[in-house]
A and B are shown apart, each in its own frame.
Chain A
Amino acid sequence: MRTLFDKIWDAHVVQDIPDGPTQLYIDRLYVHEVTSPQAFDTLRDKGIRVLRPRQIFAMPDHNTPSDASEPLTIGSRQMAALKANCDEFGIRHFDAGTKDNGIIHVVGPEKGLSLPGMTIVCGDSHTSTHGAVGAIAMGIGTSEVAQVLASQCILQQKPKTMRINIEGTLSPGVTAKDVALYLMAQMTTGGATGYAVEYSGSVVRSMSMEGRLTLSNLSIEMGSRAGLIAPDEITFEYLRGREYAPKGEAWDAAVEEWRKLRSDDDAVFDKELTFRAEDIAPRITCGTNPGAGIAVDERVPESIQQSELEYLGILPGQKLEGTPIDYAFLGACTNGRIEDFRAFASVVKGHRKADNVTAWLVPGSWAVRQQVIDEGLDKILEAAGFELRLPSCSACLAMNADKVPAGKLCLSTSNRNFVGRQGPGSRTVLASPLTVAASAITGVITDPRKYLQS
């Protein structure tokens, strides 16, 4: 009668400290340039080595330039520090501008580094993404990064468990991103704090791996550090043959074990909620927290805080559909995967980008970028007036040069609409790749259902 979370957690308990947290063994640590320099300093200060460097993979992603004409120098101090630290401590490093590089939360699953049953951590809150393969994956702070480097463990209180069932069939034009934005609005940004969430139900079971990664990615926006999805045939098909996944007999043995990774039928969750697919339309946000959201054709509700409305320059009762946008951003660990580029291309095919819109199309990894080119999507995008950029976290948090200017409105596939998130004074509306694509060709926030092509 254990949940999926319990099974993975129990298998990784090193010890339960009396009247204290659990010492939890970590299978995989990912490291990026922003939250790691001080962790490596801690090791140097204490004169200790990395305990199990083969289980750790590093890559810069937050600072990497998305503009090919830009030199690799922006944020170079942190990127250089990451490279030097990896050299010093014997950690594999996928350097900026190489084919292995990309956003950690895109690259990890894509390379088969994130596997079912694992415990996975990284100094980044969107580490919840990797839970989509059936793993416990959590964001941690820099002190905890140092702990894992030094001991391959962290100390954590076991969270409560929550199951969110999404039942029914999604309507055309409604994506995993819309499901997540809907859940955030229902749950609020703190509604799942203290819980590890398992996503289940017919919508999740039939969702592609890319969609599941998007759903798990956004768990943290409801306050949940971890968002798990039980592995199934879709998971196994996605992982089969990937570079770091098991091969041959090891693969068969692994799959046999992974099939056991599901919540028992009589498992009891601390909280269980069920939502209906029929209630979910294409969604947009209308505040400065991801929980403030509406269907794309709805009016801004009275419940949005005054300060948020003022920042965005909108009014209660107003429709955002039809509002001019200045920027369109496709990418981030939320929506920077091949399926997202296919969706975007399917909408803009045969149309032209609106003149008032600056569009940043930023693949989540070099592998995604290559696949976009291999599938000829770049030609469709180019014909519609869009340019394919280089992999980076980019305008999601504006640590590289991709900053939305003050006052400008960006319709974005990223994960946070916080004040100043995409650049000081920038205004953000979150949406799916389909909605961003439809809006990028009309120049105003647009219901993507009007532009669906078969």
Chain B
Amino acid sequence: MKQTFDTITSTCIPIAIDNCNTDLIIPARYLASTTRDPKFFGDAFMHDLRYDSDGHLVQDFVLNKKGFCEAPHEGVHEIIVAGQNWGSGSSREHAAWAIAGYGVRVVISSSFADIHRNNLLNCFVLPVIVSPDFQQELFASIEADPQTKVSVDLPNQTVANLATGHAEHFSINGYKKYCLMNGLDDIDFLLKNVGTLPPATPSYEGE
């Protein structure tokens, strides 16, 4: 799960669902696992949209469609282009594990829910916020040609639609950019900085 970032150029999976909540990204019954097994969570990614109640593939859902059903690997389907307010609702990091476990490395949207965006970053999946116009153009390019490639350049903080040649700058703070490019966790930073804490919060029990 801990992969370093530079530039990723890949075809995309368009998931044009606005306000897609983390219950849709991974239903609650998959939260019973006590591990972080990428295969388990990758298989559960958007499960109830991919399969009907009898376990059959839902043919017209994008992940099952020709042109998009191939499992992500280098240069192929490593990027999701998502509807606005992606990852709203539950804080379950399992949603980020499902996205990472499925093989996706970048999610592009016009907006992300706050908790999910942090979860993606902590799982080394890069959330890229673009303008609604750029997002809609991406959807259009991919619809016209599923082989459309997008290039996400983290060092230069640019995202480019290679079908149209249009590019945008995206924001990420310098600290997190450094962490992603070097495969560093927040917990490692925090463990180095525990010496500067205030005194323990008082406890009043039994008084």
Q: How far is the CB of A241 from chain B (nearest CB, A)?
A: 11
Q: Which residue in B34, B186, B187 is a CB contact (below 8 Å) of A77?
A: B34
User: A21-B176, A193-B113, A419-B48 in contact; A425/B53 too (CB < 8 A)?
Assistant: yes
Would you call A75 an interface residue if the criterion is a C-beta within 8 Å of the partner chain's C-beta atoms? yes
Q: How far is the CB of B18 from chain A (nearest CB, A)?
A: 8
Which residues in window 297-325 of A have CB below 8 A to B?
none
User: A20-B176, A190-B88, A416-B89 in contact; A27/B201 too (CB < 8 A)?
Assistant: yes
Chain A: interface residue total (CB-CB under 8 A): 82
User: A25-B197, A38-B35, A77-B32 in contact; A139/B115 too (CB < 8 A)?
Assistant: yes
Which residues in window 174-199 of B have CB below 8 A to A?
174-176, 185-187, 189-191, 193-194, 196-198
A-B residue pair count with CB separations less than 8 angstroms? 200
Would you call B123 an interface residue if the criterion is a C-beta within 8 Å of the partner chain's C-beta atoms? yes
User: A143-B122, A189-B19, A425-B53 in contact; A151/B193 too (CB < 8 A)?
Assistant: yes
Would you call B23 an interface residue if the criterion is a C-beta within 8 Å of the partner chain's C-beta atoms? yes
Interface residues of B (CB under 8 A from A): 19, 21, 23-24, 27-29, 31-32, 34-36, 48, 53, 84-85, 88-94, 96, 111-115, 118-119, 122-123, 173-176, 185-187, 189-191, 193-194, 196-198, 200-205, 207
Would you call A244 an interface residue if the criterion is a C-beta within 8 Å of the partner chain's C-beta atoms? yes
Rounded to whole angstroms, the CA-CA distance of A54 and B93 in the bound complex is 25
Q: How far is the CB of A253 from chain B (nearest CB, A)?
A: 11
Complex A-B: 14 CB contacts under 8 Å:
A12-B198, A15-B196, A34-B31, A35-B93, A38-B34, A42-B187, A54-B203, A147-B186, A151-B191, A155-B175, A399-B32, A416-B21, A424-B48, A425-B53
- Give the residue among B187, B200, B201 with the most A Cβ atoms within 10 A: B187
Would you call A255 an interface residue if the criterion is a C-beta within 8 Å of the partner chain's C-beta atoms? no
Interface residues of A (CB under 8 A from B): 12, 14-15, 17-21, 23, 25, 27-28, 34-35, 37-38, 41-42, 46, 48, 51-52, 54-55, 62-63, 75, 77-78, 81, 112, 118, 123-125, 127, 138-144, 146-147, 150-157, 159, 189-190, 193-194, 220-221, 223, 225, 243-248, 250, 289, 291, 397-399, 406, 416, 418-421, 424-425
Q: Are B122 and A223 in contact (CB under 8 A)?
A: no
Q: How far is the CB of B19 from chain A (nearest CB, A)?
A: 5
Rounded to whole angstroms, the CA-CA distance of A32 and B32 in the bound complex is 12
User: A81-B34, A142-B93, A193-B113 in contact; A223/B88 too (CB < 8 A)?
Assistant: yes
Q: Are B84 and A250 in contact (CB under 8 A)?
A: no
User: A21-B176, A37-B34, A189-B88 in contact; A147/B190 too (CB < 8 A)?
Assistant: yes
